[in-house]
């Protein structure tokens, strides 16, 4: 059995969420700063969650096309370890955020078909990590967390990119092991797949998801290093 698969539980909104994610073995905990999301937190609400997070949990701030004023506001209050840019940020903007704040940056990229894959190589030149997610429908209000997956075969025969990457989109405790085996992913992200209702995390599902991911055998390559 391999325990090298790293798990990110995104959309944490309470002390209990954070504690369960950490105790279950998640390596990353995500806080969403996007008002349209049912998982949205203000900087003021996220501060005590981040301060009380157990040591070893990488605290990730998810933002969508955030300007510097918003990032200044969040990072001036919340002890964050990594920024996740989940909007339409250009490679230049990713590089600018990374340089300005001195934090590792994860760029989320939506995939629906083969034409979406070249952007991964492009952003791997400027981001510290990549999150490969299902591309949202054109009329979707949210850029992620929609519970949608994409054709994992698109990634099955890909060479490794220059940066560590994370698989997201429609993952659940029931399918995460298959997703890792098909894609070779060594990191996975989940939000709606471990909820009992939008924005409401389910402790049992979190534990089941982490256990299923960490029980994967035969995944390709070495586990990524945390940045």
- Of the candidates 10, 17, 58, 180, the residue annotated as catalytic is 10
What b/e sequence results for 179-202 when a residue is b if at least 16 CB atoms lie within 10 Å of its CB, and e otherwise?
Answer: bbbbbbbbbbbbbbbbbeeebebb
- Sheet strands (E) in 15-158: 28-33, 58-63, 82-85, 105-111, 129-134
Out of 17, 58, 128, 133, the active site residue is 133
Task: Specify which residues 111 forms β-bridges with.
Answer: 134
**Could you tell me which of 184, 142, 135 has the C-alpha nearest to residue 34?**
142
Burial of 221 (0-12, 13-18, 19+ CB in 10 A): exposed
Instruction: Confirm whether 133 is a catalytic residue.
Output: yes
The pairing of beta strand 195-197 with beta strand 200-201: antiparallel
Take residue 155 and report the two structure tokens written for it: 């990634």
The residues that are catalytic are 10, 133
């Amino acid at each position: 059995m391999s325990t090298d698969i790293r798990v990110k539980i995104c959309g944490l909104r309470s002390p209990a969420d954070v504690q369960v994610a950490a105790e279950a073995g998640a390596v990353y905990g995500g806080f969403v700063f996007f008002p349209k999301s049912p998982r949205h937190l203000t900087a003021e609400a996220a501060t005590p969650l981040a301060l009380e997070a157990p040591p070893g949990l990488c605290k990730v701030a998810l933002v969508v096309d955030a300007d510097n004023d918003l990032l200044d506001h969040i990072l001036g209050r919340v002890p964050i370890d990594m920024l996740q840019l989940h909007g339409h940020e250009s490679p230049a903007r990713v590089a600018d955020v990374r340089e300005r704040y001195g934090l590792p940056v994860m760029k989320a990229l939506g995939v629906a078909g083969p034409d979406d894959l070249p952007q991964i190589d492009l952003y791997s030149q400027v981001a510290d990590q990549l999150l490969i997610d299902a591309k949202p429908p054109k009329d979707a209000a949210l850029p992620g967390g929609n519970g949608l997956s994409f054709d994992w075969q698109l990634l099955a025969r890909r060479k490794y990119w220059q940066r560590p990457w994370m698989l997201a989109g429609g993952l659940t405790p029931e399918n995460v092991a298959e997703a890792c085996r098909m894609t070779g992913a060594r990191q996975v992200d989940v939000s709606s797949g471990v909820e009992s209702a939008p924005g409401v995390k389910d402790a049992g599902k979190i534990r089941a998801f982490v256990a299923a991911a960490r029980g994967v055998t035969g995944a390709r390559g070495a586990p990524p290093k945390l940045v």
